[in-house]
Amino acid sequence: MSTGLPLFLALILDAMFGEPAWLWSRVPHPAVLLGRLVGALERALNRGAGRRGKGVLAVAALGAGAVLAGLLIAQAGPVVEALAAAILLAQRSLVQHVQDVSAALRRSTAEGRTMVARIVSRDCSAMDDAEVARAAIESAAENLSDGIVAPAFWFLIGGLPGMLLYKAVNTADSMIGYRNERFERFGWAAARLDDLLNLIPARLTGFMLAALSGQLRHWRAIAADAGVQRSPNAGWPEAAMARALGVALAGPRSYDGQKRDLPWVNGGGRREIGAADIDRAVALLWRPWGLLLVFALVVGLTDWF
């Protein structure tokens, strides 16, 4: 059987059930296990000379283990493979987390700050309503790519081993892929490989958002906005989301107590935004999900017949 029908089932299961607390409060989520493994490798290897080489070795070991685990699980059959894939997708949890920011912001700015701090790494303590909304929408766009489109893409390409490889590398990048004294050398391999694995999915996410919101005519402007971001990939879904909503995203923000004058994305869009714009972004998240669902079904049925 092809990867199409298992992915179709996985997308539906994830959208229906998300990450049930009754299960993951009793056993560790695979992402948690991956995080523990990355942390153990970092503690054991990120010291002394040759840290870049040690980081390459760590990512190679992590990736090989992920592929092997995927191959073993896939032997149980397509239904088990679909269940495992559903656990590694994040559509429903992403929607819930972003909706929580909208609901909190409607109650008060302070509650909005508290809730958005759970999904972004920037300083949130002094944010106004517009800054809270921008952070939530940017997180929605970037995690649509990282949490749904990219895992689904690599599942279609390489089945569960491909998906697990992507999740392992993406987890490693989120933990050690920072340009600071501790991680710049050791995390180099994780960051570069994550960039490579997201190269197509990020642009595909941007394209789907633009196409499904009637903004493909602005593709050149979306590409230009994507190019001003430090990340080679994150700007694509963010720029497409900004155009789809008619809002300005990115711009100045604070990290570790330092204000950074970052460029605007779709700088001509509305800057005074709020909870209603977060809700519009959440609604838009379901359109690429729906397109992926249809594509997976078509691929699966084509291979089946």
Which two tokens mark 200?
A: 């197509």
Pair 248, 242: CB distance under 8 Å: yes
Dihedral (CA of 65, 70, 76, 81) sign:
positive
Mean pLDDT of the chain: 94
**Tokens 């994507």 — which residue?**
226
Is 257's pLDDT higher than 70? no
Q: Which amino acid is at 175?
A: M
Angle between helices 188-212 and 275-304 (to 10 degrees): 90
Query: pLDDT tens digits, residue range 191-200?
Result: 999 999 999 9
Per-residue confidence at 231, pLDDT binned at 50, 70, 90? Answer: confident
Nearest-angstrom CA–CA distance, 51 and 144: 32
The whole-number average pLDDT for the span 141-159 is 97
Average pLDDT of 122-139? Answer: 93
φ and ψ at 222, to 5 degrees? -60, -45
**What pLDDT band is residue 253 in, cutting at 50, 70 and 90?**
confident
| Cα distance from N-terminal residue to C-terminal residue, the chain | 11
- Residue 126 has what pLDDT? 87
For residues 108 and 83, what is the distance between their CA atoms, to the nearest angstrom?
39
Q: What is the pTM of this model?
A: 0.95
Q: What is the DSSP letter of 260?
A: E
Bridge partners of residue 254, in order along the sequence: 259
Query: What pLDDT shows up at residue 124?
Result: 87
* Range of the structural domain that residue 267 is part of: 4-304
| Other CB atoms within 10 Å distance of the CB of residue 131 | 22
**Please, which residues bridge with residue 253 across strands?**
260
Say yes or no to pLDDT of 1 above 70. Answer: no
Domain count, the chain: 1
Mean per-residue pLDDT for 245-253? 92
Look at residue 120 and tell me whether its pLDDT is greater than 70: yes
How far, in Å, are 174, 177, 251 from residue 258 at the CA level?
21, 20, 14
- The full DSSP string for 239-258 is HHHHHHHTB-EE-SEEETTE
Residue 258: its pLDDT value, please? Answer: 72
- The rounded distance, in Å, linking the Cα atoms of 292 and 152 is 8
Write the pLDDT tens digit of every residue in 50-100.
999 999 999 999 999 999 999 999 999 999 999 999 999 999 999 999 999
> In sequence order, which residues have a C-beta less than 8 Å from that of residue 167 and are 6 or more positions away?
30, 31, 34, 66, 88, 151
